[in-house]
Chain A
Amino acid sequence: MAKPANGTTTIASPPAAEFASGWTYAPAPESVKVQIKPRYTHFINGVWTRATGETFPTLNPATEQTLCEISQATGGDVDKAVAAAGAAQPKWAALAPGERAKYLFRLARRIQERARELSVLETMDSGKPIKESRDVDIPLVAAHFFYHAGWADKLAYAFPGRTPRPVGVCGQIIPWNFPLLMAAWKLAPALACGNCVVLKPAETTPLTALRLAEIIEECDFPPGVVNVITGDGRTGATLASHPGVHKVAFTGSTEVGKKIAAATAGSGKRLTLELGGKSPHIIFEDASLDQAIEGIIAGIYFNQGEVCCAGSRLFVQESILDDVTSRLRRRLSTLRVGDPLDKNTDVGAVNSRAQLDTIRNYLRLGADEGATLHECGTAPLPAKGFWCRPSFFTGVQPSHTIAREEIFGPVLSVLSFRTPDEAVARANNTPYGLAAGVWTDKGGKIFDIARKLKAGVVWCNTYNKFDPASPFGGYKESGFGREGGLHGLRAYVDF
């Protein structure tokens, strides 16, 4: 505080904290190295198949370098895997449930013990920041197996008045955004309920599922209980319509989910679908803004926005629209985009060139249709790899393509509303219904809105929280069936 000559006192505002210039981060690369074989084959009936036939490369999306070659499963491979699962299933189901549980407990423990290796591998194959694979994906994988292990001998308590029995052979097709976590979501309940599985990981991210097969082998699972086959959409389609498969579980786009539904209609196959979303995130003027901003950031930029339940439509009450927008811009400028293996990285690489093209197309469409793009951060992006700066659009109309279609990237649409009723009506105005978020400090209001939102998961004053005990899944065209918790078991038992 300076005292000027004329005797009056002025209070200078404190200097604004400014980190951009003097406070750069030193590189903090994850140092663990993982072994990757030059070529992987399929894991069928407890053995790795011979390396023959067509292959395709899997890339590190942050460097565009080929990590290794992956085998494209043929119809014959699918037949063998389904037959192996079919042969193993009666014995697996007949095993004392407590023993079945112990296989899963053992697997959960080995995953915990090999967590660092799995995290690094996941980040290399998918492009997600090591911070997330290390602190979110892999711990949840272990937790998921641990939670479901304990169900194996308690299923009789799960379905009042009914005696559950396994469905049989499960064909499970999973996406590339949470490769190992989705494998765990699929495998753990299926195995706990006495089913055997043929798992097909996504074409661009097969490595952790294959590593999981190695761990399953190491845990001495009976042959055929878990089979992992790799390939593209053709393999998935063959698996889903295979007559030896009794249950199809799919996570992916609504478009592919509908094709699977059409292909399995009338076949007697059980079906669960976890599909796309365009989840609304509503923030009221009486919310705790600091926390809400963190929730919005976590909601849309987590995993580069490649999240089916990403809070991609932000509805802000009109009175705080300017405040929220400027806070968002400020917070966004602090996000670090870059090397996914760097422990300080917040936003990693987009999973593939195809997905990057899709996102860029939406960015173009958003601007063409009249919305204003706010792209944050100016630091140069690496020359190689698939990169997209996190961004948001303002001036978005509900009719804009970016407000209606799933982008699956770090792109947020900001819209406004005046009354709670309007917020609910606009939030529900979508064919999707996977998740939703609400921020307000008024207790009655938050549960009133939560009740009215048509979504399978509603995060109140938080967002993007996951737990093996918490059922996850959608309303409407986001699919049906739940994964996780008591309700997730229903998909894997018949009465």
Chain B
Amino acid sequence: MPDRLDVLKTYKLFIDGKFPRTESGRSWPLNSAAGEPIAHLSLASRKDLREGVEAARRAQPGWAGATPYNRGQVLYRMAEMLEGKRDELAQAIASLAPARSAKGKGRQATASLTPQDEVSLSIDRLVCFAGWADKYAQVLGCNNPVAGPFYNFTITEPTGVVACIAPDSPSLLGLISLLAPPLCAGNAVVVLSGGTNPIPAAVLGEVCATSDVPAGVVNILTGMRGELLGFVASHRDIDAIHAAGVSTDERVLVEKGIAENLKRVKVHAQTPWTDAAACHSPWWIEPFIEFKTIWHPASV
């Protein structure tokens, strides 16, 4: 019997700016590699997903309507808050790091990545996309030289509600890499954390709650990813899916979501998570924007 009993935290879901326990009442004890209890996590259900999507749908127009400058500042604020929680996050990554025990595909690219480095890269990735918020529209939009007296230009608009399906590993960096690009472009997101170590995702919810992210713009569900994937794919109010670290079967399942309501689906196969040049590109944003082309006569 220890002299002092640890107070174990139960991490809750993050939906609509609040921290509900799952409506299903299910929770999940997490043990460290050494077998000691670390924390409890909420096991999100289909109804939690639905509530997350509803919150995202409500919040999305306001987020899309915020100025790009403002969205950039909010993402930068998230980076600031992450920096402040650096040790907690590094510990969360280390406590259950699946790459050390599992033989997952993601392992090779990130095996040498220390938890502290992973936090650093995650912060830098957020800062990068904070900067993209008011620039990608200029890089990806254009005016079009049509053969007639018209102003014709193509602008970008966010797709809407994006579900981010995070890989098991790297648990934090993978999640941030999937979240930041659609977020900076004015989409609202519902995150499904990786299954093997959801603690960083749960901590990220606490970051969002304290960094001016409007309620509902980011929603985070922890739990068994496999259980919820099919519901994400078939949900008709999810406009797009951004996924990584999924198996071949899961990829088929997720892409069947296109047939449901023409979801835009981007699944990353091999991702060089630590390669900033590859991951900091506006082409990570492009799958989650719609191009609108506007014509107007330039004659009387």
A contacts, CB < 8 Å to B: 143, 159-162, 254, 257-259, 261-262, 264-266, 271, 273, 275, 431, 446-447, 450, 455-462, 465, 467, 469-473, 475-480, 482, 485-487, 490, 495
Given A266-B248, A456-B293, A470-B144, check contact A480 B154 (CB 8 Å): no
Interface contact B258-A467, CB-CB below 8 Å: no
**Min C-beta distance of B275 to chain A, whole Å:** 13
CB atoms of A465 and B283 under 8 A apart: no
B-side interface size class: 35 or more
- Say how far B186's CB is from chain A's closest CB, in angstroms: 12
Known contacts A262-B256, A457-B292, A490-B286; 10 further A-B pairs (Cβ under 8 A) = A160-B282, A261-B258, A457-B295, A462-B150, A469-B144, A470-B152, A470-B154, A471-B154, A478-B262, A495-B283
Nearest CB in chain B: distance from A293 CB, A: 16
* A-B interface contact total, Cβ < 8 Å: 119
Can you identify 10 A-B contacts, CB atoms within 8 angstroms?
A265-B258, A266-B251, A458-B294, A460-B295, A462-B297, A467-B147, A477-B261, A478-B262, A485-B142, A487-B291
B interface residues, Cβ below 8 angstroms from A: 139, 142, 144-148, 150, 152, 154, 239, 248-249, 251-253, 255-256, 258-262, 264, 281-283, 286, 290-297
Instruction: State the Cβ distance, B285 to closest chain A Cβ, in Å.
Output: 12
* Cβ contacts under 8 Å, B295 to chain A: 457-460, 462, 465, 470
Do A162 and B147 form a contact, CB below 8 Å, given A458-B293, A460-B294, A475-B290? no
Bound-state Cα–Cα, A258 to B259, Å:
4
B147 and A258 contact, CB distance less than 8 A: no
Q: What's the Cα separation between A458 and B152 when bound, in Å?
A: 10
Report B-chain residues with C-beta under 8 Å of the C-beta of A472: 293
Taking a contact as CB atoms under 8 Å apart, the answer to whether A456 and B146 are in contact is: no
**Judging by beta carbons under 8 Å apart, are B154 and A485 in contact?**
yes
How far does the alpha carbon of A161 sit from the alpha carbon of B239 in the complex, in Å?
Answer: 27
Contact A262–B259 (Cβ < 8 Å): yes
A477 to B264, CA, bound (A): 10
Chain B residues whose CB sits within 8 angstroms of the CB of A143 once the complex forms: 147
| Closest CB in chain A relative to B215 CB, distance in Å | 23
Q: Which residue of A lies closest to B240 (CB)?
A: A480
Q: How far is the CA of A479 from the CA of B263 in the complex (A)?
A: 9
Closest to A472 in B: B293
State how many angstroms separate the Cβ of A5 from the closest Cβ of chain B.
49
Q: Chain A contacts of B264 at CB under 8 A?
A: 480
| Option from B145, B248, B252, B291 in Cβ contact (under 8 Å) with A469 | B145
How far is B147's CA from A162's CA once the two chains are assembled, in angstroms?
29
